[in-house]
Structure 1
Amino acid sequence: MDRRNRQPSIGALAIGSLLWGTAMAVTVLIDLRFWLDGHTLNTNGLVALYFAGGLAGFSPARLIARRIAAEKPFTARVSASFLCLVILTIAATAIVFAISFQYSNGYYHPSAIGWMWPFYIAASGIAASFQFLVMGSRYFLPTGIPLLALASYALAKALR
């Protein structure tokens, strides 16, 4: 059987997603404790947000990295894993933030229901994603870098 056609099992994807989501939740928790000394009212919400982003971003990252670099040398597999994990974890977390932003602000804009509703959803989703990218991405650093390197190494070994 060709290695390129072998799909990872659902269990492996689920376990990897849970581990990566937990790693991202721990990252934001450590960074909140370090930078804000725990002085925030939204700790549980932020930990849940980053967990959901890591959970949602891991499986597509693994599948795309496998598609890009399955038959390549080990360094290419590590690089592909690193790049896919960074992009898809941040994108998934930004999307989860945009959805929660839309849900929480929908109560304040009852006139948004109607023909303008799709434009309102799109504009607030873009604004929320940008807001997360500017202000929320900092919580992945510096704790997330060693975890990202370790996960990229483990994914590269699993891609062979």
Structure 2
Amino acid sequence: MDRLRAARPPYPDLIAGALLWGMQMLAAAMLGLYLRNGLQTSRLAEIAALYFAGGLFAWPFALPVARFLAFDRPLETRFAAFFVTLTAATILMTAFLFAMEYRMFYSRWHAPFGSIVWAFQFVFTSISAVYQFLVIGLRLFLPLGLVCLVASSYHLAKRMR
């Protein structure tokens, strides 16, 4: 019961943390894009919104899970819990948002909603989008995203007693 109580973060931590994590992922993506091609893309605003939203929406899922796993553990274990859950949640949420954007683009050529063909098209378009994000989009988190991840995980681990 104590573990469940400890897993529920205070609302200011949830809201401010989500905004801060979203801004960190936005900064990481922009630095990654700058280092790769000097921000030369026609979709800069969309990329910025995607990475910000990925961080913003990942935080409310990651924080309670990490706090649950880190409860009453040594510092190293708490750090690992925050590191793994923030990594997984951020990648999964950003990939999901990318897949939904990808799906919206290709939906004009898909079968009518609810049909068997539509279901196959939805699943395979989403799988293709996630794969494409993992191959192309994941590297935009580096190098700054890794620094933000380590610093945030350490801060959260130290803060949770």
Corresponding residue for residue 138 of structure 1:
139
SS of the aligned residue for 1:156 comes to helix
1:144–1:110 distance in 2 versus 1, CA, 3 Å: closer
SS of the aligned residue for 1:111 comes to coil
Superposed CA deviations along residues 79-116 of structure 1, whole A, max 9, x for unmatched, are: 11011111110011000000000011112x14354331
1:157 Cα deviation (Å)? 2.5
Q: Does 1:152 align with 2:153?
A: yes
Identity %: 36
1:10 Cα deviation (Å)? 2.2
RMSD: 1.6
Runs of 4+ off more than 6 Å: none
Corresponding residue for residue 21 of structure 2:
20
8 Å Cα contact 2:82/2:157 also seen in 1: yes
Corresponding residue for residue 111 of structure 2:
111
Q: Does 1:77 align with 2:100?
A: no
Could you tell me which amino acid in structure 1 is paired with residue 48 of structure 2? V
Corresponding residue for residue 34 of structure 1:
35
8 Å Cα contact 2:110/2:121 also seen in 1: no
What is the rounded CA distance, in whole Å, between the counterparts of 2:110 and 2:147 in structure 1? 45
What is the rounded CA distance, in whole Å, between the counterparts of 2:102 and 2:21 in structure 1? 23
What is the rounded CA distance, in whole Å, between the counterparts of 2:159 and 2:105 in structure 1? 40
8 Å Cα contact 1:62/1:155 also seen in 2: no
1:3 Cα deviation (Å)? 6.2
Size of the alignment, in residue pairs?
A: 159
Superposed CA deviations along residues 1-31 of structure 1, whole A, max 9, x for unmatched, are: 9465232122211110110001000111111
1:158 Cα deviation (Å)? 3.3
- Under a length normalisation based on structure 2, what TM-score does the superposition of the two structures give? 0.92
Corresponding residue for residue 127 of structure 1:
128
Could you tell me which amino acid in structure 2 is paired with residue 111 of structure 1? A
- Under a length normalisation based on structure 1, what TM-score does the superposition of the two structures give? 0.92
* Structure 1 segments unaligned to the other structure (5+ residues): none
Q: Could you tell which deviates more after superposition, 135-144 or 4-13?
A: 4-13
